[in-house]
Amino acid sequence: MKLLSILTAAMITLGSPLALAETAHKSDILIENAWTRATPPAARSGGGFAVITNKSDHDDRLIAVTSPAADRVELHQMSMKDGVMIMREQENGIEVPAGQSVELAPGGLHIMFMKLKGPFEKGKVVPVTLTFEKAGAIALDLKVERIGAKRMSTGMDHSTVDHSDMDHSKMDHGDMKPAASSN
């Protein structure tokens, strides 16, 4: 009976699209914290973000992204030039050096969805396939966060938690020094 319970729990967890939404792995490429922002109903574009780790001893390159959620998907880089934010397509893809991680994040390298087929809704997922020069295609879902999110949520909402009664006396804070007084 215990084995049946374990198998049932595993099937429920593995069968849930949200259980695998933020992480994907193929050969030596690991994709974690994959997310996007919700978009207003009339939005025509959106961005996608993730951390890509190359665990191999050879460089690889993210060369394409596809998604049924948009007519066109490109790899882009945002940067500042003369005080102006500029966004450029990365026509040669994004290099993922051997043994290193590359972060696709707001304000930097990112996935650019163009001509959206519908709004990205908070709490849902956007399916994508990332294609690498050596590792090939990796399919995963981007978790849709709130409009304007700067990073992927941890799933823990502390906004309504009152921490004023917490007892910190038994916590080891290491070599922390008291903060300097602003008075």
CA distance 44 to 113: 8
Q: Above pLDDT 70, what percent of the chain?
A: 69
CATH T-level assignment (fold) for domain 18-144: Immunoglobulin-like (2.60.40)
Mean pLDDT, rounded, of the chain: 80
Question: pLDDT at position 165, please?
Answer: 52
Question: pLDDT at position 151, please?
Answer: 74
Question: Which residues are registered as beta bridge partners of 110?
Answer: 76
- Give the dihedral of Cα atoms 162, 166, 171, 175; nearest 10 deg: 60
The answer to whether residue 59 scores a pLDDT higher than 90 is: yes
Give the start-to-end residue ranges of the domains of the chain. 18-144
Question: Which tokens go with 171?
Answer: 């916590």
Question: Which tokens go with 152?
Answer: 């992927």
Asked if residues 144 and 18 have their Cβ atoms less than 8 Å apart, the reply is no
Looking up tokens 């399916």, which residue turns up?
Answer: 127
Question: pLDDT at position 27, please?
Answer: 76
Question: pLDDT at position 161, please?
Answer: 45
Listed residue (18, 50, 24) closest to 138, CA to CA:
24
